[in-house]
């Protein structure tokens, strides 16, 4: 708006004066153009306002539709729940009537002839599911009718005055507890020294602190030297000292002394071993007897193993013989008819051949 006002002022300043008649047409044209521009700008502003109003109206209509849909859904849900409750009530009523009719039919079937029976008191009291112990409410008996008479009503528990009186009877340590501050731990002895546990705790704390410092320590990056530095030259090692022997006799004497020292040390070790053996002689003997017994047991077990292996071989041989005998018996039983039939055919053929020979001999004689 400010820019438009500035432009308008600049435009008014650029207009020619009213007293100048020669520029009257030009002034009129400029004013007409400005008026058209103003109308076009106003039309654009009106269109923008109309579009904004349309958007607002659309949003309001959408919200109204959503609200209306929510209200409709609530009404539908309420209606559906009401119908569902009615349906469940009808189903429950049908179920109750069904149960009652079934019960009546069962009762009628028990007494089809319609005979009257006396009450069996002994049976009623012996059966804990009878009407004596658990009467049915549908028969008009309500065992919980006067249950309020058995409720405990206490003056001290149900009234404020009773609670105050109970509180006055309580001891002071219940209503006014006293908290004693804990005493600090004594970490020093009577002589003024630290106790062992305190000293250990102190050492552990120092170690823990050192580990944390080492863990949290940031490695410092070594900066390159700004100027050239001279590397120090290490000093040369000192020469190894050597022992110069003056003569062979001294060397032999030293070797003899060393050998004598070895002998003495070895003898000392032998004496120590002998003393230890003498001290633990009973244990050594016990171990030797145990080892001897173990060897005897090994020999006995070896002999038992050989005996069992021999018995196993004998049993296997016996089983093999029994198997052969049974197999031969089975073979004879199964194939004996075939063998007998073959023998009979052979005998018949032999008889026929003998008869033929006899006939031929008779013919020759004739």
Encode pLDDT of 120-140 as tens digits: 888 889 988 888 888 888 777
Q: What is the pLDDT of residue 117?
A: 79
Q: What is the pLDDT of residue 78?
A: 92
Q: What is the pLDDT of residue 62?
A: 93
Question: Measured between alpha carbons, how far is 179 from 205 in angstroms, rounded to an integer?
Answer: 31
Residue of 219 and 60 predicted with greater confidence: 60
Contacts 24+ apart (CB under 8 A), 114-120: none
* Residue ranges per structural domain of the chain: 10-15+23-106
Cα atoms in the Cβ-side hemisphere of radius 13 Å centred on 113: 3
**Residue range 241-261, pLDDT digits in tens:** 776 666 778 888 888 888 988
Cα atoms in the Cβ-side hemisphere of radius 13 Å centred on 115: 6
CB 195 within 8 A of CB 188: yes
**Residue range 173-184, pLDDT digits in tens:** 888 878 888 887
pLDDT exceeds 80 at position 192: no
Q: Band the pLDDT of 63: cuts 50, 70, 90.
A: very high
Q: What is the pLDDT of residue 21?
A: 65
Q: Band the pLDDT of 340: cuts 50, 70, 90.
A: very low
Q: For the chain, what is the largest distance between any 2 Cα atoms, rounded to a whole number of angstroms? A: 198
**Residue range 157-173, pLDDT digits in tens:** 889 998 888 888 888 88
Residues near 11 by Cβ (< 8 Å), separated by ≥ 6? 30, 34
Q: CB atoms < 10 A from the CB of 316, how many? A: 10
């Amino acid at each position: 708006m400010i820019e438009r006002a500035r432009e308008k002022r600049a435009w008014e300043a650029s207009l020619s004066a009213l007293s100048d008649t020669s520029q009257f047409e030009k002034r009129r044209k400029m004013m007409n153009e400005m008026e058209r521009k103003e109308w076009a700008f106003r039309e654009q502003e009106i269109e923008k306002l109309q579009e904004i109003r349309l958007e607002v109206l659309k949003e309001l209509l959408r919200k109204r539709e959503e609200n209306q849909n929510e209200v409709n859904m609530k009404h539908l849900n309420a209606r559906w729940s009401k119908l569902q409750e009615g349906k469940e009530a009808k189903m429950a009523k049908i179920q109750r009537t069904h149960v009652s009719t079934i019960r009546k039919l069962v009762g009628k079937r028990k007494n089809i002839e319609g005979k009257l029976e006396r009450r069996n008191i002994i049976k009623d009291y012996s059966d804990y599911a009878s009407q004596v112990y658990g009467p049915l409410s549908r028969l008009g008996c309500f065992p919980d009718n006067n249950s309020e008479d058995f409720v405990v009503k206490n003056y001290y528990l149900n009234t404020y005055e009773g609670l105050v009186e109970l509180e006055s009877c309580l001891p002071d340590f219940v209503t006014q507890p006293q908290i004693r501050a804990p005493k600090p731990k004594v970490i020093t002895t009577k002589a003024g020294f630290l106790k062992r546990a305190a000293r250990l705790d102190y050492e552990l704390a120092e170690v823990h602190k050192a580990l944390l410092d080492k863990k949290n320590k940031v490695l410092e990056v070594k900066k390159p030297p700004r100027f050239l530095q001279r590397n120090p030259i290490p000093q040369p090692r000192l020469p190894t000292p050597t022992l110069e022997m003056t003569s062979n006799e001294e060397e032999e004497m030293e070797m003899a002394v060393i050998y004598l020292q070895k002998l003495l040390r070895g003898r000392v070790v032998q004496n120590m071993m002998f003393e230890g053996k003498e001290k633990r002689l009973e244990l050594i003997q016990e171990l030797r007897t145990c080892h001897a017994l173990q060897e005897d047991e090994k020999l006995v077990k070896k002999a038992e193993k050989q005996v069992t292996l021999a018995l196993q071989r004998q049993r296997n041989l016996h089983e093999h013989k029994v198997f052969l005998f049974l197999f031969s018996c089975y073979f004879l039983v199964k194939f004996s008819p075939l063998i007998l039939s073959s023998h009979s055919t052979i005998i018949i053929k032999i008889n026929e051949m003998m008869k033929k020979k006899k006939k031929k001999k008779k013919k020759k004689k004739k």
